[in-house]
Structure 1
């Protein structure tokens, strides 16, 4: 127990020391931008960075309190509270990955709709506005907002830039970049360009889907291997003898070493098993 109090005291001194030094503004802005970008990728446009941080803190406190009531061990409660604090991040990343897979199948249809509308004689802004009613269902709200922006300002560049920000997708960046270049340069081969782009997007989605299907079981098995020891620890912590064993100095060192090893192994597993993510060409 004295070790736990010592760790908490050291953590308090560390927080006080960090409060005496101002963090560079650029680092804060970069961190905030990463969180905002992740929320946009997950389709959570109405969730603010402050709301995400609040959810993280609440999950940490709730899980820590529940585990402490179950085990009466501050160290075990702190460890599982930390795990609980990562739940919002894991959920947002899961939603972002799921949304990326869903949108990957929809973008070729978007390109086909644009190509058909332009061949029918519609202008590029009108073709984009039409996607708000005739495009793929998950993407319609973004194109409806584009129509409202364009009708309010009649400025295509500003409206399509806001559309790109709402979509927050690498494939959307490629389509919008191609449309902007074609609009600026001019030419009559927009339909041919969209046809080529649609074929490329379908081939890319099919290839990436096959790769993800083959490596998903490996990644899930590795995650289960990392989580299993901690589930066993939580079950063992309902026994008073186990709690007393981990309350000693050697027991606390074993737990902290287990946390460090699990974190390192999990990061290595993600680095080995994950596929390279598509980079956005417009930021």
Structure 2
């Protein structure tokens, strides 16, 4: 009853102060700007992960559904509200984390393919093909993971005949900094013309190949350290989950001291994990005109 009266009093004070805290004439532009920024970030993440056809709201639905399911399972198994809340937060972040991991894997997998794409374009241009035909021929000769995307470009060109629109759609579907360099080089060659396209593509191929080799070597050396750090963060929570399955563990973690320990551990884990990622992060190449 005391808790209920306290909640009612807090709600009354909040309602009394609401005219000054949230005036009726306050502009909704900052809120709209924040919503637009979140939608733009979700759109960029989906593009990088290879889901350019998925709407950002689907990602929001997936996060909410994951949070609800995880919270329900955690509460049923442990009957601890604080663990259910933490499980909901972790599960809500899981789809975003999975998309980021997928985007990183795609970026690493494609990193060694772009020099081959440049070499194939050089061969097609030297054989006398036009730029649209040279790009469209990659649907048969490019590395297997990229053929479908270049096939879509070829179909767009056949349907519309408009190079600028088709190359923009190709750039959006690839969503890769290395691909941006190639696409913008081809766009400039198409719009400006000139005879230096082949030397530029060869220089670009050599530059991408050298950068990919150096980055792969550094990432291979960092992988062991990063794996050990992730294991050090996850292991205590596995032990906590196992202890919470026992009745005496549930009773201990339901006390104020137990809740404080869990929240403190969660804060330390988040700070340690974010610090580890920031220390070991390599500067990623930025996209061109994206």
Would the TM-score normalized by the shorter structure come out above 0.5?
Answer: yes
**Structure 2 residue corresponding to 1:105, chosen from 99, 104, 112:** 112
1:113 and 1:54 mapped to 2: Cα distance?
Answer: 41
Any idea what SS the aligned residue of 2:87 has? helix
1:55/1:88 contact within 8 Å kept: yes
User: Which structure 1 segments of 5+ residues have no match?
Assistant: none
Paired position in structure 1 for 2:261: 254
Q: Structure 1 residue 38 and structure 2 residue 55: aligned? A: no
Please give the residue correspondences for 1:205-216 in structure 2 after superposition, counting only pairs within 5 Å. Answer: 205-216=212-223
1:251 and 1:220 mapped to 2: Cα distance?
Answer: 29
Highest Rg: 1 or 2? 2
How well do the aligned residues superpose, as a CA RMSD in angstroms?
2.5
1:218/1:273 contact within 8 Å kept: no
1:136 and 1:26 mapped to 2: Cα distance?
Answer: 40
1:262 and 1:78 mapped to 2: Cα distance?
Answer: 16
Paired position in structure 1 for 2:97: 90
TM-score w.r.t. length of structure 1: 0.90
**Structure 1 residue corresponding to 2:273, chosen from 266, 271, 275:** 266
1:170/1:279 contact within 8 Å kept: yes
How far off its partner does 1:30 sit?
1.5
1:136 and 1:248 mapped to 2: Cα distance?
Answer: 58
Any idea what SS the aligned residue of 2:113 has? helix
**Structure 2 residue corresponding to 1:172, chosen from 175, 179, 194:** 179
How far off its partner does 1:81 sit?
2.2
Paired position in structure 2 for 1:160: 167
2:157/2:163 contact within 8 Å kept: yes
User: Which structure 2 segments of 5+ residues have no match?
Assistant: none
Any idea what SS the aligned residue of 1:24 has? helix
TM-score w.r.t. length of structure 2: 0.88
2:149 and 2:272 mapped to 1: Cα distance?
Answer: 39
1:210 and 1:158 mapped to 2: Cα distance?
Answer: 37
1:214 and 1:44 mapped to 2: Cα distance?
Answer: 30
Please give the residue correspondences for 1:1-283 in structure 2 after superposition, counting only pairs within 5 Å. Answer: 22=28, 23-283=30-290
How far off its partner does 1:184 sit?
2.5
Alpha-carbon deviations, 1:214-253, whole Å to 9, x = none?
Answer: 0011111111111111111101101222221221222212
1:114/1:127 contact within 8 Å kept: yes
Which structure has the higher relative contact order (CA within 8 Å, separation 6+)?
1
1:184 and 1:45 mapped to 2: Cα distance?
Answer: 27
How many residues were matched structurally?
A: 276
